[in-house]
Structures are given as C-alpha cells and as structure tokens.
Amino acid sequence: MNKVAHYLQEHLSGEVVTSVDALKYFSTDGSIFSITPSIITYPRNENDVRKTARFTWQLAERNRFIPITARGLGSNTSGAAIGEGIVAVFPAHMNRVLELDSKSGEVTVEPGLNFGKLQQALHTHGRFLPPYPSSLEYSTIGGAVATNTGGEKSIKYGNISNFVKGLRVVLSNGEVIETRRLSKKELSKKLGLSTHEGEIYRAVDTLIEENHELVDKLKSFATRTSSGYNLAEVKHKDKSFDLTPLFVGSQGTLGLITRITLETEAYTPRTTLVVGNCEQIVQAEAIVSKLREMKIVPSAIELIDGGLLDFIDKTNPNLIKNLVKKPFPGIILMVEFNDPNDRAQAKAAKQTKKIFEESGIQAKVHTDDVEKNEIWKLRDLASSFIGFGESTRRALPIIEDGVVPFDQFPVFLKGIYDLFKRNNLVPAVWGHAGEANFHIYPQLDIAQLGDRQKMFRILDEYYNLVIALGGSTSAQNNDGRIRAPYVEKLYGSEMYILFNKLKDIFDPYKILNPGVKLGVGIEDIKPILRSSYSLDNLHDHLPRA
C-alpha cells in the first residue's frame, strides 16, 4: 500500500483499499472507457470525505496532484465515474434516508442511497421523485443529482435539477458548505466570509455580473440539457442566489456531495397508457406534436423503433416474444397520463386515441395494471439494451443522449437513420419522443481497429448533427469524457472560457474529476478506450441478455 493510501487508512473511519481486484473493478463504469485508479475509499461519513479532500489539497499545494472521483454505482455511460487517483465509493456506507417529511414531501438523503430504494420509501408516503433514470435499481441518488438525470417522465417534470432544494458539499480544500437559495441579505453575509466558501461566493457573483449577457444566453437554450454548468439559474432577477444548480450536473467536478434535500411529487399509481404503432417518422411526429399541445400533459411519450425490436429479437427472441407480435411495426408510440383525477385521465386518453386516428392509426387504451406492466417491460428492455450483441459486437453508449428542439424531430430522426446507412449499420432507436431525445446504440466491436475508426466517425457526424439542429449533445447523461470534446462547439468559445473560469474558482488545483466535462479533445479519449465492452460492474443488479 502506498504512502497516501496508508495515511488515508490511518485517518478515515471508512475502508481504504488498494487490492488489484478492487482497482480493476473500479476501472470501468457504464462507458466505453477504462482508467485504473490508485486508491479506493469507502467514506463512512462526511468527515471522511472532508479529510480526503483536505489531504489531497495539501498535497497539491506541494505540487503533488492526486485526483478524486466520486462514485455511486458506476452506471454512468459518459465515463465520469472513473479516474486515476482516489475513487470515493459512496453507496457502501453513506446510503441513508435522513429525513422524510410526509406532509411536504421534502426528503433529505445521503448520496450513496440507491434511487430505487428511495423511490420505494417515497411511494409508501404517497410521493415520488419523477426524474428517475431507467437505471434506478442499480444507481444512486448522488449519481443522479451529480449527472442531472432525466427519464421517461421528463416531458412533464424535466430533469432532477427541478427537484434539488439544497445540498451539503465538501469543497476541493475540504471545507463543507450548505447550499440553498439565499436572499440578497443572506448573500451579502456569504460575500463577507473570509473562508474558501466566501471566496467562491465572491468569485461566482463577480463572474456572473461581469458576464451577465453571456450567462443569459444559457437561458435561451432551446432544449433540456445536462451539458456544461448551469450558471443561468444561480442569480435570479430578485438578486436571490443559489450555488445548488452549479453542483447539480457537475459530475463531481466542483465538489463532493454529502447530503441532498429534494422536493417530491404526489404519486399516482393509477395511470392510463395509450399505445399505437406508426409506420413512418412523419406520422409519429404529427401525433407527438399534437400530444405536446394537450391541456393535460402526458407523463410520458416514449418511442421504440422496429430496428431495435429486430435486434432484440435476433439477440434473444425469448425476451420479446410475448411482448410484441411480428412483423414488428416501424415505430411504437407509448403515451402515459398520471393525472390524479381518473376522469381527467379518461378524457385525455380519449383525446389521444383521436389524435392517433387522425393519422390513420388505431391506438389502444390500457388501464389494467398487468397489461400496462407488459408494455412497460418492452420499454425497459429497450433501455437496458446497452451492451447487448452478437459475437464480439456490442450496442455501445456513444451517441445515446442527443436532444433537439421539437420542430427538428423528423430531421433529427431521418439524420440518424441516414448516418447509420452511410456507415453500414442497422439502426436501433428508442427514446423520449415528446422531447426529441433519442437513445441510439450502434453495434460495434470496440476491439477492431476498423470499428474504432468508424466509432469516432459516427461520434463526430452525430454530435455535429445535433449541434447544427440547435440541440444539446446531452439531455440527461451529461458530458463526462465522451462528450467533453464537444462542449466548446456546443456553447461557443466565450461560454467555454466562462465554464473553465468557474471550474478554476471551485477547484484551482484540478483535483476533482479531471478529464471530465472540460479540457478534453478527441485525442485524449482515444488512449482510454476499453478493449471490450460490457456492463460487468452492474451484473449484481441488472438482468442481462
């Protein structure tokens, strides 16, 4: 065990591990990358996190740089849960619900808590957290907040950033801060502090004031995004101020989250699901654009294409045989309503059926739980399709999260199909149709040079398409390492400089998850490609084909 690990072992109450097996296990996440860390820590409490950060800060002051990567359950597909130095694994000990107010629905938790467990606890109080990822059973709430996740309900509720009320965060120098929206008066107190916290408040406030036109531009971003840093939500017109939006979606690059307070929504277990099959993109687009105009907002508008159904059928026909009949339709559209009022749901379902009929499609309304579960199984199958494959080819998460303004829906989807055709690949698409946010997994063999070259060609063509259509490279899975080379192109160089200045304010020694979000080019990610792709680290939690 090296000196740093030895020091940490002596000073932390949680475990410190440097065994080859552990380092190998934590060298991958859900992405196509691999980086072997040098030390694994399992913080038992906030003090452990604080001591780790303080120690690495002191080393950095003496020109010795040991990065820290926070980690939940490592399901991130952008390569943000791996790193060279210390990987701090939160789910082992820091995994409790600390407070749940069943009246207001406000809940305070530790970051390592499994998202699925939190959701179960909330359900028993008639509440739920709507922006849950489809990976909720094998991911943490800390990972979700640090990534700014979204999911099937995001058409109605947006990303998790809309639900985070406050945080406790360990800063890069080991200081602990609490964030929440502050009044002008409370802000002026913070601005007067002589601590690192005070420096941060002063520097962020100045950065926003000096660049307010640029910061305002972030607000005009047409689509939901988890890319970059959410500077636009820090200072409001009434001069109130909140650092929380910066940490949400920062992928552990600005601070280490130790406590999260969230708002929740009333849970309606009774839902109505309307399902219809389309043959053409234009049909689907026409239907979805009318659905988006409805008074009762659908709680989900999901799409699965025939290419994906074909692929699942080829890989493992048993998985799909009872869920959808052959020949598979071109596109399946699923529309859900969760309005608390049953009559409102019935009315919305009738209206939705009519919208489908106007495009010549007979849609079916489902209220029976067994039927609905079967249909959602199909959607869940689509979402867990990463890593499926024949022989050594795997469905890779490399272009899985682009989102464009809704009026670009048909151009985007056609652009995706053309891209696959040009590259001799079979398209397989699913996603959140209501927001033109599609998940696409090209099937490639990462070990083959030809496929690797193709992969980088696809990456470039795809992200250029998304940016050209005025979209965001990431609606919910964030920049990480894979999309970091496109952040500057997405936002422009002025904004990119601003993001870098912000990073410097919080993390001047670049200890926190370096190589994620900023300062990364395509050439930097090529050497860290895995030689084969799998989601081995999730086998405990995720049924695989």
| Contact set for ligand FAD, span 440-479 (CB under 6 A) | 476-477
**HSE (side-chain half, CA atoms, 13 Å) at 251:** 29
Read off the tokens for 82.
């791996």
Cα distances (angstroms) measured from residue 540 to each of 95, 259, 261, 543: 18, 26, 28, 8
| Contact set for ligand FAD, span 383-412 (CB under 6 A) | 383-384, 386
The β-bridge partners of 337 are 272
Closest CA to 226 of 458, 400, 71: 400
Taking CB under 6 A as the criterion, the residue among 28, 147, 179, 474 binding ligand FAD is 147
Check if the beta carbon of residue 355 is closer than 8 Å to that of residue 290: yes
Measured from the CB of residue 208, what is the shortest distance to ligand FAD in angstroms?
A: 22
| Contact set for ligand FAD, span 84-103 (CB under 6 A) | 90
Measured from the CB of residue 397, what is the shortest distance to ligand FAD in angstroms?
A: 7
Which stretches of 1-123 are DSSP H helices? 3-11, 20-25, 46-61, 115-123
Check if the beta carbon of residue 518 is closer than 8 Å to that of residue 510: no
Measured from the CB of residue 226, what is the shortest distance to ligand FAD in angstroms?
A: 8
Of 128-136, 287-295, 414-422, 485-493, the window that binds ligand FAD (rule: CB under 6 A) is 128-136
Nearer to ligand FAD by Cβ, of 215 and 525: the residue is 525
Measured from the CB of residue 99, what is the shortest distance to ligand FAD in angstroms?
A: 18
| Contact set for ligand FAD, span 43-82 (CB under 6 A) | 69-77, 80-81
Nearer to ligand FAD by Cβ, of 363 and 399: the residue is 399
Read off the tokens for 250.
């920062």
Asked if residue 327 has a cis previous peptide bond (ω within 30° of 0), the answer is yes
Taking CB under 6 A as the criterion, the residue among 144, 381, 469, 490 binding ligand FAD is 144
**HSE (side-chain half, CA atoms, 13 Å) at 182:** 20
Which stretches of 81-160 are DSSP H helices? 115-123, 141-147, 154-157
Measured from the CB of residue 516, what is the shortest distance to ligand FAD in angstroms?
A: 6
Closest CA to 149 of 73, 249, 247: 249
The β-bridge partners of 275 are 334, 364
Nearer to ligand FAD by Cβ, of 91 and 283: the residue is 91
SS3 of 383-427: the string is HCCCCCCCCCCEECCCECCCECCHHHHHHHHHHHHHHHHHCCCCC
Nearer to ligand FAD by Cβ, of 130 and 307: the residue is 130
Distance (Å, whole) CA 46 – CA 24: 26
Check if the beta carbon of residue 406 is closer than 8 Å to that of residue 435: yes
Count, residues near ligand FAD per rule CB under 6 A: 39
Taking CB under 6 A as the criterion, the residue among 105, 151, 402, 471 binding ligand FAD is 151
Site map (CB under 6 A) of ligand FAD, residues 247-276, x = contact: ----xx---xx-------------------
Measured from the CB of residue 395, what is the shortest distance to ligand FAD in angstroms?
A: 10
Per DSSP, 503 falls in state H
Taking CB under 6 A as the criterion, the residue among 130, 133, 427, 514 binding ligand FAD is 133
Taking CB under 6 A as the criterion, the residue among 107, 109, 129, 146 binding ligand FAD is 146
Cα dihedral 294, 300, 305, 309 sign: negative
Nearer to ligand FAD by Cβ, of 66 and 80: the residue is 80
Check if the beta carbon of residue 297 is closer than 8 Å to that of residue 338: no
| Contact set for ligand FAD, span 492-521 (CB under 6 A) | 513
Measured from the CB of residue 483, what is the shortest distance to ligand FAD in angstroms?
A: 12
**HSE (side-chain half, CA atoms, 13 Å) at 334:** 27
Distance (Å, whole) CA 23 – CA 341: 51
| Contact set for ligand FAD, span 3-32 (CB under 6 A) | 29-30
Taking CB under 6 A as the criterion, the residue among 139, 277, 338, 408 binding ligand FAD is 139
User: Which helix (DSSP H) or strand (DSSP E) does residue 39 occupy?
Assistant: strand 39-42
Nearer to ligand FAD by Cβ, of 415 and 431: the residue is 431
Taking CB under 6 A as the criterion, the residue among 41, 52, 119, 135 binding ligand FAD is 135
150 contacts ligand FAD (rule: CB under 6 A):
yes
Of 229-237, 329-337, 379-387, 418-426, the window that binds ligand FAD (rule: CB under 6 A) is 379-387
Site of interaction with ligand FAD (CB under 6 A):
29-30, 69-77, 80-81, 90, 111, 133-135, 139-140, 142-144, 146-147, 149-151, 251-252, 256-257, 383-384, 386, 476-477, 513, 535
